[in-house]
Amino acid sequence: MSVEKKKTVIGKAVDVAILKRIFVYVKPYKKNFVLAVCTTIFLAFLSPVRPILIQYTLDRFVFDSPQITDDQAFDVHSFIDKFIPIGDSSNMAMLLFMTMVLVVLLTSEAFFQFVDSYLTNSLGQKVIKDIRVQLYKHILNLRLKYYDNNPIGMMVTRAVSDIEVIADIFSNGLIVIIGDILKIIVIVIVMFFINFKLTLIALTTIPLLLIATYIFKKSVQRSFQDVRTQVARLNTFVQEHITGMNIIQIFNREKAEYKKFDDINAKHRNANIDSVMAYSIFFPVVEILSSLALALVVWWGGKGVLQGEASVGQLVSFIMFLNMMFRPIRQLADRFNTLQMGMVSSERVLKVLDTVEIIENKGTKEANGIEGDVEFKDVWFAYNEEDWIIKNVSFSVKQGETIALVGATGAGKSSIINLLNRFYEYNKGSIAIDGIDVRDYELISLRKNIAVVLQDVFLFSDTIANNISLNNPEITREQIVEASKMVGAHEFISKLPDAYDYNVMERGGMLSVGQRQLISFIRAYVYNPKILILDEATSSIDTESEKLIQNAIDILTKGRTSIVIAHRLATIQKADKIIVMDKGEIIEMGNHQELLRKNGQYKRLFELQFKEEGVD
């Protein structure tokens, strides 16, 4: 997190390289983008028309004053007269006519502002939808090692909060900033054409405003960066601790974790208060400076009216021009910060998209026709450099056989099944299925033919049927029911409200541990894998559930190549081969009786667990 924060501190308001990459996502919506830009430019030129027409109306038909000009000024009256059919109409009639023109103009301006706002916001939403889909697709393909090193809460922040901020690049950022700057330029040019001296007076406070804007921009930039960092910390903490709430309550850690949360939340609050402080200072300063500019215009313009150097219409139009000019100036600093935060969020999201922590899928061989012969030959594996987790492991499993892996926690058992599935890549040696290296198989095809039943069963907040099929349309309700009957779970499922349509809620919280485990067995059964892996599938269940699970295991393993990891040695005595591991190495191998006769590690484990129970 600290590295990321360091990068954002020196982030640029407009990073051309990042903008180029973000605008790649605009290509499918080119028409939308062009329309938004054209509408923004049109509004910039339309805005000054209203004050000009009001000036013309007041001078021409209310006060009946001539156009007051000098050699450098533009004759507004003569120019507009070319387009206004005055004829013999009275001033009252022309006043009514000009009022109607102004209403039409105001309505048109409001309509185009609506169109502009809709186009820019819809463009932003379309773009972030595409980015979020691509990001999620990329996240799905990241190997498990990436999740070992990055908190889930941070990933949630990237996929939700940061991508939402990217939308602001379009809705409140680049296009709007260009429109505001263009509007200010057009207004200033028009003001100079109408009355050069009065314009100079009106712009007197602008240098002070620019200085205040620069200070505000820097202050808010720092606070916004801090806010984004604290949001990521907050998301990570809340996600992890709500997920692990049972541990917190079991160990009576509520008060301690509350204090941690209170500290993180306080930092989040302070970061937001810093930005609130900047806004609280900046906006009153802008109001004071704009009011000062307005006072100067009223003083100088009023004096000009009295001395015949300016007209009432000019004075009114300049007051309107000032309001039109100061509003976007006041917003520009905020918009630049919004744009910069969009740059920061874009950089964070693009960093995830650029992450190459993926398992290369260069295999071309389809695994659909595999028999299930598995061979590990001199396999070495380390998560980090040469801190070996698996050391020179070699064994083979024939089609339809069952092997068991036993050993202490950390012996490398789970790492072996992760390598077979290619969740991680081995460093040395070879792993083959039916004599073909697993890397030569197409990855999706390979994993479709290997099913894993884990100790910690993960169920989604969905129906039992959908948790079994994982919303695969190729798996019918009839197949699900038949599989449930085979595994021995149909009876308990049928007794639930709505049966197979019963929502198990988050992580299957409405079911017992044994019931969740049975659901995972049904899930494996309906996918009909050629290779089945059971990772501690009976370690967390009661004796009654274990009998059902054992029956399910017998059904699932029949005719399939099976690799079973278990601490309970009673569940693996029927295995064709038992492999005993210690510190990443195979220290013993054979069937149950052979290993007992060796009088080695397996026998010691067996006697430790079962001697008192009289198991032979």
61 close to 91: Cβ distance less than 8 angstroms = yes
Between 315 and 80, residue with greater pLDDT: 315
pLDDT band at residue 103, thresholds of 50, 70 and 90?
Answer: very high
Q: What is the pTM of this model?
A: 0.69
Model pLDDT, residue 7 = 41
560 close to 579: Cβ distance less than 8 angstroms = no
The CATH number of domain 2-353 is 3.30.70.270: no
Model pLDDT, residue 6 = 38
Say if residue 611's pLDDT is above 60: no
pLDDT band at residue 384, thresholds of 50, 70 and 90?
Answer: confident
Residues 6+ apart with CB under 8 A from 495: none
CA distance 368 to 538: 29
SS3 581: strand
Q: Where in the chain is the domain with CATH 1.20.1560.10?
A: 2-353
266 to each of 152, 235, 241, 252, 258, how far by Cα in Å?
22, 14, 17, 23, 12
pLDDT band at residue 35, thresholds of 50, 70 and 90?
Answer: very high
Q: Where in the chain is the domain with CATH 3.40.50.300?
A: 374-613
Model pLDDT, residue 12 = 54
Model pLDDT, residue 571 = 67
201 to each of 294, 508, 606, how far by Cα in Å?
9, 71, 96
SS3 143: coil
pLDDT tens readout for residues 92-101 = 888 888 889 8
Average pLDDT, the chain: 79
521: number of CA atoms within 13 Å, CB side? Answer: 31
**Fold adopted by 374-613:** Rossmann fold (3.40.50)
Q: Is 149 exposed, middle or buried (0-12, 13-18, 19+ CB in 10 A)?
A: exposed
pLDDT band at residue 74, thresholds of 50, 70 and 90?
Answer: low
Q: Is 267 exposed, middle or buried (0-12, 13-18, 19+ CB in 10 A)?
A: middle
Model pLDDT, residue 608 = 74
pLDDT tens readout for residues 468-482 = 888 888 888 888 888
* DSSP secondary structure code for residue 502 in this structure: -
Model pLDDT, residue 114 = 92
Token reading at 414: 């789970």
pLDDT tens readout for residues 255-302 = 888 888 888 888 888 888 877 787 778 778 888 888 898 888 888 888
Say if residue 178's pLDDT is above 50: yes
